[in-house]
Chains A and B, each alone.
Chain A
Amino acid sequence: MNQPVIFNIQKFCVHDGPGIRTTVFFKGCPLRCAWCHNPESQIFLPELLYNEEKCTGCGQCLSECPSAAITRRENAIATDRSRCQACGQCVNSCLRSAREIAGYTASVAELVAEIEKDRVFYEQSGGGVTLSGGEVLCQSQAAEALAIACKTRGIHVAIDTCGHVPYENLARLLDCTDLFLYDLKHLDPSLHKEYTGQDNRLILDNLCRLSAIGAAIFLRIPLIEGFNAGDEHINALAEFCRNLTVRQIDLLPYHNTGSSKYQRVGRPYNPGQFAAPSPERLDQIKTILQQSHPNVTIGGN
């Protein structure tokens, strides 16, 4: 089995499922949401993050690169990403931590050992582990092995998914998952494709199938003014949710977190005309959705 590629393990997560949780972020995602604030989660392989704000241009990294991908251009340091192998040599030489590698492979045993460290908190708080991403189910074989290992140890497992994966990838996790945190961005296929790079047929289909077999689901809807927070879409959502058996609907208001992370991965950022819904609007949306589901939260609390 291939070892999973992880880009972060975050402890004391308190918004991604019940209790105090440890979230394992798997790297790589089939979607390219225009508002994504974790661009380093998108591609499947480890990659270089370069923080221009921290770089002093000292040039220590220049001679370290075995692929000769780093060059000096006037006062700045440039990296040819087509040559970069993400080997991490330059990271060790950087005295300002301006360079780091996002993503590393880890064995299931290593991940379990890290997850186990916070067992006492899961037990006291009713928490557990959340497998997230990127899209965890793109690495479903490894995710399954990890989820089984956690379940056997009595640790609650949540899967945070965008749903854009073959149903088999979801199905194999059913027996070892306690809760699905299922993201839903838009009901309209063409708008969905325009803003995420993929249409939503697979996502909706998987959601309905999961719902039909009675899986425990928290539906999570990012709310973005200018994309999915208008009356028409919210009413459609309310209608759609009426037929689902989800346990809870979490509304996650969008925050404009800026472009700096895109600079770090060397990709362009097209933020579009997005904004966070106002608190009043959020309450309105909550009220509308409550008509078809009793359990709607703002922020997952």
Chain B
Amino acid sequence: METRGMNDRIRKLKNESDTSIPHLSIERAVAITEAYEKYAGTVEVPLLRALTFRHIMETKALWIGDGELIVGEKSEHPQHAPSFPELCCHTMDDLEVMNSRKHISFKVTDDVREIHATRIMPYWRNRSLRGLIFTHMTPEWKNCYESGIFTEFMEQRGPGHTVLDGKIYQKGFLEFKADIRAAINSLDFLSDPQAYEKKVQLEAMEICCDAIMIYGHRYADFARQLVAVEHDPVRKAELLELAATCDIVPAHRPQTFRQALQMYWFVHIGVTTEINPWDSLSPGRLDQHLDPFYKREVENGSLTRDQAKELLQCLWIKFNNQPAPPKVGITLKESSTYTDFANINTGGVAPDGSDGVNEVSYLILETMDELTQLQPSSNVQISKKTPHAFVKKACEISRKGWGQPAFYNTDSIIQELLNAGKTIIDARQGGASGCVETGAFGKEAYILTGYFNLPKILELTLHNGFDKFSGKQLGLKTGDPNAFATFDELFEAFKKQLHYFIDIKVHGNHIIEKLYATQMPVPFLSIVVDDCIKKGMDYNAGGARYNTNYIQGVGIGTLADSLSAIKYNVYDHKRFTFAELLSALDDNFAGHDRLYHLIREKTPTYGNDDEYADELMVKAFRAYHDAVTGRPTRKGGNYRIDMLPTTCHVYFGAVMGASPNGRLAEKPLSEGISPDKGADRRGPTAVIKSAAKMDHLETGGTLLNQKFTPSVVAGDRGLENMASLVRSYFSLDGHHIQFNVIDRQTLLDAQKHPEEYKDLIVRVAGYSDHFHNLSKELQDEIIDRTEQSFGC
């Protein structure tokens, strides 16, 4: 008999996880300083990194919370985040900001400050990679970086968001170590000039195998110590089983469901302790990896469904215990969240192409539903073979309105991966990580290199390359826009600017990639990503089977509407001149009522299934795609694009003046590939149709948000409608969609700021209407009604 909801253990652990205050932990910083002092300069860099990793795993504090069944923390306590001074050595001011900022704060105790000042800073101040990166960047790069043209993912975090495949459930680290030894033994020092480099790299991986096994054994010992002082016989037995689990994993391959979960979590802690890979690792197709264990044990009676769910929930809480390590500066602005973006893919297809949904998939859905945690992010992969019941179950959770699970299109992901040169088997086992980024799990280094501000490029084009915010000539002098006789001339100038800025970004990327390859190898992560062992090459140096770099485009909606505003009004209908438009932009539209009205009310916009505006979106997308896709990376892969923002659309908007589409100065840009705020006025089907005109298959991921009032998705009919929207979008090759359900608070805000909610459609009475179009009395009535549950 299955049980719904959390049991006492889970409720207690979750409560502790949710109420612990995030702290900055100094433990890792101290350990790494000790190791570098001891080994730096005496051994090759990969060995230095491996010995450092081993030192951390040998010395880091252990934590077994009361009632925990899965163990391992990044630091000495849940919600304590380590720092990575080898990447970014925080200043004392940084610590103060972290401690006192209103959002995403980390408590920094006096002891930590003291150690940081006396122990960490003296060593790392002039040695962190961040310093080296900024030293090597060109003045053009720095100007662009500081002016919000693009961001840089690797300036204080290692390349990450890596996702594992199933190998850690089939091999223990003793076996990995044997594989590594075999690879060393087969090196050919006579005919392979790289043999020595490979040997060093492989030996580093070997040390890391030892390190993670030491960590596991320490936990086994620690659990037994606790048994000795534990009075409760039930807990005693649990601790003994925990010790037995840690005797097996990570040294040996897991033999049970529970060992499989613990195996993953040890690897997770290993990868995210070795470096800060923005800021996480993901298990990938967890349901498929766990299903063989689950089936076997349920069949032989050694595991019940409830026990399996409890263990899964324990793992979920471990994810929840890890706030993304503190960020500072622009990197904080682009990703202003505690969320570490572990993203678990559920459903999809199996390696042979058959439907991948199994009983563990449903257990995972129930787990996310019952725990309602922001992390791990949980998504469902929907293929054309996915059962309707699974889609509906996912919709049922999604309509509760907290944004999860998000929906990903397996069939599109497979085509995206095939298009990027993966084999069909690797593509089927791939999926999305981070926000929406596509990759071949366990076999690919797919590196986001930074967000790129698309509307800012148009702004610079309209000002002949000059940026009035920074007061610098950032771009090329592509000409005074007043002199462009046609829209095409303007667009050509935009494309030139785009290429110029992508050149600057890629130039910087090459250098940063080289620095990571040589200064920051990740021998532990390299063990679990194919084909690093086979190639004897580090993950950060090109050891993975596939290597892709992404540049993520932000603000396509704002850009499309701005292009539409110019083409429609200045060129096609000559309703105002370029000079008038530029003057309105300078004045932030103040005193330009007629022009503002024409743009906001009488100009086609993206998101309405309107060919005029949508064609411009496609044109802009194509220009961006062509400027980026196919450029070679240092690791032998290619550049590709993603269309996603995290929180960067807010930051990018803040460094811009007013846009030609009527977006006011410093206001956020459109997010993902969603239409600009208030631009979509014809409901969700029109948004989906517009968004699907972009060629998603040529990207590595796109992000689309949809919002609804509760009544639209109420009842079984509402679920069917949601499922139909998902299936429809995916049949048009859409990559990702997620749903937000509008609450009463939002409606109140919409009443106050109608201009920002022009897209908001509500069910009135037998018909739907735009909220902003309703009288105040009717709005009030609908607000009163919008507190209903979904039961009807």
Instruction: Let me know if B732 is at the binding interface, CB within 8 A.
Output: yes
A15 touches B766 (CB 8 A): yes
| Residues of chain A in range 85-124 having any CB-CB distance to chain B below 8 Å | 92, 95-97, 117-118, 120-121, 123-124
| Residues of chain B in range 713-756 having any CB-CB distance to chain A below 8 Å | 714-718, 720-721, 724-725, 727-728, 731-732
A12 touches B732 (CB 8 A): no
Q: A121-B728, A255-B781 are in contact. Are A301 and B715 (CB under 8 A)?
A: yes
Q: How far is the CB of B298 from chain A (nearest CB, A)?
A: 35
B778 touches A257 (CB 8 A): yes
Instruction: Let me know if B296 is at the binding interface, CB within 8 A.
Output: no
Q: What chain B residues lie within 8 Å of A97 (beta carbons)? A: 597, 601
Q: What chain B residues lie within 8 Å of A38 (beta carbons)? A: 767
Instruction: Let me know if A258 is at the binding interface, CB within 8 A.
Output: yes
A14→B683 CA distance, assembly (Å): 12
Digit string of B692-731 for contact with A (CB within 8 Å is 1, else 0)? 0000000000000000000010111110110011011001
Contacting residue for B689 out of A118, A255, A258, CB 8 A: A118
Digit string of B34-76 for contact with A (CB within 8 Å is 1, else 0)? 0000000000000000000000000000000000000000000
Q: How far is the CB of A56 from chain B (nearest CB, A)?
A: 10
A20 touches B721 (CB 8 A): yes
Q: A11-B683, A125-B721, A301-B792 are in contact. Are A257 and B764 (CB under 8 A)?
A: yes
In this complex, the member of B689, B717, B725, B792 whose beta carbon has the largest number of chain A beta carbons within 10 angstroms is B717
A260 touches B778 (CB 8 A): yes
| Residues of chain B in range 766-792 having any CB-CB distance to chain A below 8 Å | 766-768, 774-778, 781, 792
Q: What chain B residues lie within 8 Å of A95 (beta carbons)? A: 593-594, 597
A125→B717 CA distance, assembly (Å): 10
Instruction: Let me know if B602 is at the binding interface, CB within 8 A.
Output: yes
Interface contact tally, CB-CB below 8 A: 92
B724 touches A20 (CB 8 A): yes
Q: How far is the CB of B565 from chain A (nearest CB, A)?
A: 16
A53 touches B776 (CB 8 A): yes
A171→B721 CA distance, assembly (Å): 32
Q: What chain A residues lie within 8 Å of B609 (beta carbons)? A: 117
Instruction: Let me know if B682 is at the binding interface, CB within 8 A.
Output: yes
A92 touches B602 (CB 8 A): yes
A299→B711 CA distance, assembly (Å): 11
B686 touches A11 (CB 8 A): yes
Instruction: Let me know if B483 is at the binding interface, CB within 8 A.
Output: no
Q: What chain B residues lie within 8 Å of A13 (beta carbons)? A: 768
Instruction: Let me know if B351 is at the binding interface, CB within 8 A.
Output: no
B775 touches A53 (CB 8 A): yes
Instruction: Closest A residue to B774 by CB, please name it.
Output: A260
In this complex, the member of B732, B761, B767 whose beta carbon has the largest number of chain A beta carbons within 10 angstroms is B767
Instruction: Closest A residue to B720 by CB, please name it.
Output: A125
Q: How far is the CB of A98 from chain B (nearest CB, A)?
A: 11
Instruction: Let me know if A37 is at the binding interface, CB within 8 A.
Output: yes
Instruction: Closest B residue to A94 by CB, please name it.
Output: B597
Q: How far is the CB of A153 from chain B (nearest CB, A)?
A: 17
Q: What chain B residues lie within 8 Å of A298 (beta carbons)? A: 792
Instruction: Closest B residue to A97 by CB, please name it.
Output: B601
B725 touches A121 (CB 8 A): yes
Chain B interface mostly helix, strand, loop or mixed? helix
A20→B727 CA distance, assembly (Å): 12
A118 touches B685 (CB 8 A): yes
Instruction: Let me know if B684 is at the binding interface, CB within 8 A.
Output: yes
Q: What chain B residues lie within 8 Å of A15 (beta carbons)? A: 763, 766
A120→B732 CA distance, assembly (Å): 8
B683 touches A12 (CB 8 A): yes
Q: How many residues of chain A have a CB within 8 Å of chain B?
A: 35
Measured as residues with beta carbon below 8 angstroms from the partner, the interface class of chain B is: 35 or more
Q: A117-B609, A258-B777, A258-B778 are in contact. Are A124 and B768 (CB under 8 A)?
A: no
A11→B769 CA distance, assembly (Å): 11
Q: What chain A residues lie within 8 Å of B684 (beta carbons)? A: 12
Instruction: Let me know if A19 is at the binding interface, CB within 8 A.
Output: yes
Instruction: Let me know if A10 is at the binding interface, CB within 8 A.
Output: yes
B764 touches A11 (CB 8 A): no
Instruction: Let me know if A69 is at the binding interface, CB within 8 A.
Output: no
Q: A53-B775, A125-B721 are in contact. Are A120 and B767 (CB under 8 A)?
A: no
A13→B685 CA distance, assembly (Å): 10
B775 touches A260 (CB 8 A): yes
A255 touches B686 (CB 8 A): no
Q: What chain B residues lie within 8 Å of A301 (beta carbons)? A: 714-718, 792
Q: How far is the CB of B129 from chain A (nearest CB, A)?
A: 49
A97→B596 CA distance, assembly (Å): 12
Instruction: Let me know if B190 is at the binding interface, CB within 8 A.
Output: no
A255 touches B765 (CB 8 A): yes
Q: What chain A residues lie within 8 Å of B765 (beta carbons)? A: 37, 254-255, 257
Q: What chain B residues lie within 8 Å of A120 (beta carbons)? A: 689, 728, 731-732
A14 touches B717 (CB 8 A): yes
Instruction: Closest A residue to B609 by CB, please name it.
Output: A117
Q: How far is the CB of A111 from chain B (nearest CB, A)?
A: 15
Q: How far is the CB of B520 from chain A (nearest CB, A)?
A: 47
Q: A124-B728, A257-B765 are in contact. Are A11 and B778 (CB under 8 A)?
A: no
A123→B731 CA distance, assembly (Å): 11
B727 touches A124 (CB 8 A): yes
Q: How far is the CB of A109 from chain B (nearest CB, A)?
A: 16
B775 touches A258 (CB 8 A): yes
Q: List 9 A-B contacts (CB under 8 A).
A: A11-B683, A11-B685, A13-B768, A96-B597, A120-B689, A125-B720, A254-B765, A257-B781, A301-B714
Beyond A14-B721, A38-B767, A95-B594, 15 extra complex contacts between A and B, CB < 8 Å? A10-B683, A10-B767, A14-B712, A19-B720, A37-B764, A96-B597, A120-B728, A124-B724, A125-B720, A252-B766, A255-B766, A255-B781, A258-B781, A298-B792, A301-B714
Residues of A within 8 A of B (CB): 10-15, 19-20, 37-38, 53, 92, 95-97, 117-118, 120-121, 123-125, 127, 222, 252, 254-258, 260-261, 298-299, 301
Residues of B within 8 A of A (CB): 593-594, 597, 601-602, 609, 682-686, 688-689, 712, 714-718, 720-721, 724-725, 727-728, 731-732, 761, 763-768, 774-778, 781, 792
